[in-house]
Amino acid sequence: MTNKRTYSEKAHDYARDVVSGTIIASKWIKIACQRHLDDLDKTDSRWFFNANKCNQVCTFIESLTLSDGSPFALQPFQVWLVASLMGWMDRDGTRKHIEALILIPKGNGKSPLAAALGLWFAFFDGRRKAEVYCGALSIAQAMEVFSPARDFIESQKAFTKAGIAAQKKSIFSASGSKFMPVIGRGRHGARPYLAILDELHQANDFDLYGTFKTGCNKTPNSLMLTISTAGVASTQSPCYQIQERAQKALDGSLPDERFFAAIYCADDTVEWSSNEALIMANPNLGISNDAEKLKLAIQSALRNPGEQNNTKAMHLNIWSTATSAWMNMVDFAKSSDPSLKIEDFSQDECILALDSASKLDLASIAILFTRLIDGKKHYYAFSRNYNPEGQVSKAENVHYQKWVKQGHLIATDGNAIDFLRLENDLIHLVKTNNVQSLCFDPAHGGYGTVQKVVSETNVTSVEVMQRPIHISPAMKELEAAVADGRFHYDGDPILAWCFSNIVTRESSNSLYKMPERERAENKIDAAMALFFALSRGMVIEVKPSASKWAFEPFVL
């Protein structure tokens, strides 16, 4: 007789099946599952997987009865979600994740699962007078999570015996714990142990999210959980911005190991109307939703373009926006090589580029070397980045503060960029490297700085205008180089972050694309400086002295 698998084993098996391709999933779920497996292999980490806690919570959930009278049967993806949220622990016994985003299309059972977690946090996780809230913009939406929780309580007498009772809009215990729906701006002064924010894609501001987040920050071992589908909305919408932050946490461009994200969607590499896209985005396909009806909805959207935005958002988790992310940051991360040092390229020709932006913005210097390896041009990039101390110290710029401490960002004195510092650093780079040219865009600042460097060093300056005819070829060359393994950089997190912030929209001539950013805080300056350098580096001939055999030993 075979032993029944534990829930923790089911969670690990789900992650393995996703990573191996046995289960069709989005790239974001693959990354999250790979991280889960990688963390299991770490022996010296602050975090560990508590299998007992995972099994305990899953056992509780499967003891519940759904409103139709059937038992709550967790599917493998749901077991993995619970394991990720509840199983990963700090050595001090608190949970690893303090915030989570579960983005999943309608009909995949997110509301009953969130309701079950709400009951656990409120009454069974061991916290006295625990406060749990499920919030949304309308009471009807908030009840989408609260009603299943109330049904769970009312369907089983064991809860009454445990001193837990349900009313129309509250569930409470004799010990003072409670689970309630809230709407609009939420309750200021609340201290949620679990805050569930449902369908955030409907929100136009961060009011409710901010209220919940502030409350959770005051409560030890709390969890802020956002569950939503995608939307037909602006990239300024809170849900879109949180998803963007989640993706950066997953792809490593803005790491945050305390933030768990599960993004079930159709990848942009598959045709949205395909069966593969439907399976990829809907892990509960054919179980809690009707696969045949979803296929018919997609066929209808193909015939009626007016339906496409809503169908893509609700059933495939594809946001309807005018722009799309440009760089594949998973591939870009593979280009990172922290062992690279500028000093190792003293015999190679170098191209410098400056994007000086404005006095209050990020300013960047790109340092680009090229080498021939097996007849193919390889690019080696370094980046110097500057920001005024006045900007760095702002509360919302925690990432800047971290990069300053790590030595990746240079904070110049005062509230504006110290252009004298840029000028001196450029002069030093020219004098210590074999600089072929210094590229810049005279229409976007830096002209005076470049002229002073030219006067001091006689370096050749090259004007690169920010126009599609100049920038688009550099973008295409970088895309190809990253895909071919011909691009290398020293792991600078600011450079990676800037590339992750780039979105594109087709120009009037579809042969060209231009880099854009969706919001002012999404800086792309380091990437722009590299495009300036690459526009020059991709057309110059690499001298034989910079070939592979000039810097690698000959081995028989």
C-alpha distances in Å from residue 7, one per residue of 35, 39, 52, 77: 19, 18, 9, 11
Which of 259, 286, 316 is the last residue before a domain boundary? 316
Sheet containing strand 131-136, strands side by side: 164-167, 170-173, 178-183, 131-136, 194-198, 223-228, 99-103, 259-263
DSSP 201: G
Residue 551 lies in a domain: no
Residue 547 lies in a domain: no
Per-residue three-class SS string for 180-194: EEEECCCCCCCCCCE
- 167 with 201, same domain: the answer is yes
- 445 with 515, same domain: the answer is yes
Q: Please identify which residue in the block is written with the tokens 């690459």.
A: 534
Residue 322 lies in a domain: no
- Alpha-carbon distance of 503 to 369, in angstroms, equals 26
Q: pTM for this one?
A: 0.78
CATH code at 105? 3.40.50.300
DSSP 109: S
Three-state SS for 221? coil
| pLDDT of the residue at 545 | 44
The b-or-e profile of 184-205 (16+ CB within 10 A means b, else e) is eebbeebbbbbbbbbbbbbbee
- 283 with 346, same domain: the answer is no
DSSP 518: S
CATH code at 399? 3.30.420.240
The b-or-e profile of 12-33 (16+ CB within 10 A means b, else e) is bbbbebbbeeebbbbbbbbbbb
Residue 75 lies in a domain: yes
Determine the residue type at 379.
Y
- 304 with 362, same domain: the answer is no
- 439 with 305, same domain: the answer is no
Phi (first) and psi of residue 224, to 5 degrees: -100, 115
Asked if residue 331 lies in contact with residue 292, where contact means CB atoms within 8 angstroms, the answer is no
Q: Of all helices (H) and strands (E), which one includes residue 434?
A: strand 434-440
Asked if residue 83 lies in contact with residue 7, where contact means CB atoms within 8 angstroms, the answer is yes
Residue 545 lies in a domain: no
- Radius of gyration (Cα) for the chain, nearest Å? 26
- 148 with 110, same domain: the answer is yes
Strands 363-373 and 349-355: antiparallel
- Alpha-carbon distance of 474 to 538, in angstroms, equals 7
CB atoms within 10 A of CB 210: 13
Asked if residue 483 lies in contact with residue 331, where contact means CB atoms within 8 angstroms, the answer is yes
- 165 with 233, same domain: the answer is yes
Please report the sign of the dihedral spanned by the C-alpha atoms of residue 245, residue 248, residue 249, residue 250: positive
Asked if residue 425 lies in contact with residue 401, where contact means CB atoms within 8 angstroms, the answer is no
| pLDDT of the residue at 550 | 38
Q: What range defines the domain where residue 493 resides? A: 329-538
Chain centroid offset of residue 191 CA: 27
- 60 with 155, same domain: the answer is yes
Asked if residue 367 lies in contact with residue 350, where contact means CB atoms within 8 angstroms, the answer is yes
Residue 555 lies in a domain: no
Asked if residue 358 lies in contact with residue 523, where contact means CB atoms within 8 angstroms, the answer is no
Per-residue pLDDT tens digits of the chain, which is 556 residues long: 446 899 999 999 999 999 999 999 999 999 999 999 999 999 889 999 999 999 999 999 999 999 889 999 999 999 999 999 999 999 999 999 999 999 999 999 999 999 999 999 999 999 999 999 999 988 899 999 999 999 999 999 999 999 999 999 999 999 999 999 998 776 667 899 999 999 998 888 888 999 999 999 999 999 999 999 998 766 678 999 999 999 999 999 899 999 999 999 999 889 999 999 999 999 999 999 999 999 999 999 888 877 888 899 999 999 876 566 788 888 899 999 999 999 999 889 999 999 986 667 789 999 999 999 998 999 999 999 999 999 899 888 889 999 999 999 999 988 888 889 999 999 999 999 999 999 998 876 678 889 999 999 999 999 998 888 889 999 999 999 999 999 999 999 999 999 999 988 644 445 667 888 888 888 999 999 999 999 999 988 876 544 433 334 323 2
- 205 with 263, same domain: the answer is yes
Asked if residue 547 lies in contact with residue 349, where contact means CB atoms within 8 angstroms, the answer is no
Residue 345 lies in a domain: yes
- 296 with 337, same domain: the answer is no
- 333 with 312, same domain: the answer is no
Residue 427 lies in a domain: yes
What total of structural domains would you count in the chain? Answer: 2
- 291 with 355, same domain: the answer is no
